[in-house]
Amino acid sequence: MSLIHSLHVSFVVFLLGLVGIYLNRKNIILVLMSIELMLLGINLNLLSFSVYLDDLLGQIFALFILTVAAAESAIGLAILVIYYRLRRTIDIEFIRLMKG
């Protein structure tokens, strides 16, 4: 598997995450999942370059990102739960409290 292939995969995964964020009109959990997907794409990218360049720094970054992603999804889900408790919905359509 060459670098180009793995870069393709990671780019497509990242793009899917991106598209998932703004095409999604229904569920906020999907947004969180899309963010996870984007982080996954970035991780994959880092790892491929790390292998290709034979440099350990990319893998260290990948580990950090895993941690950050885990923490982020934990906090995000926690916010989501609290939000659900208050509003009884997690439908994106109804989250319009921050209108300018």
Partner 1 sequence: MYLCILSLPLLGFLGASGFGRFLGGRGAGVFTTSLLLITFVFSCICFYEVGICGSPCTLKVSPWFLSEYWDPTWGLLFDPLTGVMCVVVTSVSTLVHLYSTSYMGEDPHLPRFMSYLSLFTFFMLILITGDNFLQMFVGWEGVGLASYLLINFWFTRLQANKSAIKAMLMNRVGDFGLALGIFTIYILFQSVNFETVFACAPHLSEEKIIFFGFELHAYTLIGLLLFVGATGKSAQIGLHTWLPDAMEGPTPVSALIHAATMVTAGVFLIARCSPLYEYAPDALGFIAFAGGMTAFFAATTGLVQNDLKRVIAYSTCSQLGYMVFACGLSHYDLGVFHLANHAFFKALLFLGAGSVIHAMAGEQDMRKLGGLAQVLPFTYGMMMLGTLALVGFPFLSGFYSKDALLEVSCAHYTLSGDFTYFLGCAAAFCTSYYSFRLVSLSFLGEPKGPRKTYEGAHEAPLPMAIPLIILGVGSLFSGYLGKDLFVGLGTPFWGNSISGMASHTTSLEAEYISQTMKHLPFVLTVIGGSLGLGINSPAFSPNAYKMKLTSLGRSLYIFLNRRWLFDKVYNDWIGRPSLSFGYNVSFKTIDKGVLEIIGPFGITESIRNLVKHTQQIQSGFIYHYAFVMLLGLTFLLTILSLETLIQYWVDPRLWTLFGVGFLGLLPSEELK
Decide whether 12 or 57 has the Cβ nearer to partner 1: 12
Using CA atoms in the order 38, 18, 75, 97, what is the torsion angle rounded to 10 degrees? 170
Q: Give the nearest distance from C-beta 72 to partner 1 in angstroms.
A: 16
13 binds partner 1 (CB under 8 A): no
Return d(Cα 82, Cα 16) in angstroms, integer: 28
24 binds partner 1 (CB under 8 A): yes
Binding-site member from 1, 56, 86, 97 for partner 1 (CB under 8 A): 97
Return d(Cα 91, Cα 28) in angstroms, integer: 6
Decide whether 66 or 94 has the Cβ nearer to partner 1: 94
31 binds partner 1 (CB under 8 A): yes
> Taking a C-beta distance cutoff of 8 angstroms, is the pair 17, 44 a contact?
no
Instruction: Please say whether the dihedral angle defined by the alpha carbons of residues 11, 68, 99 and 94, taken in this order, is positive or negative.
Output: positive
Contact residues for partner 1 (CB under 8 A)? Answer: 18, 21-25, 28, 31, 92-93, 95-100
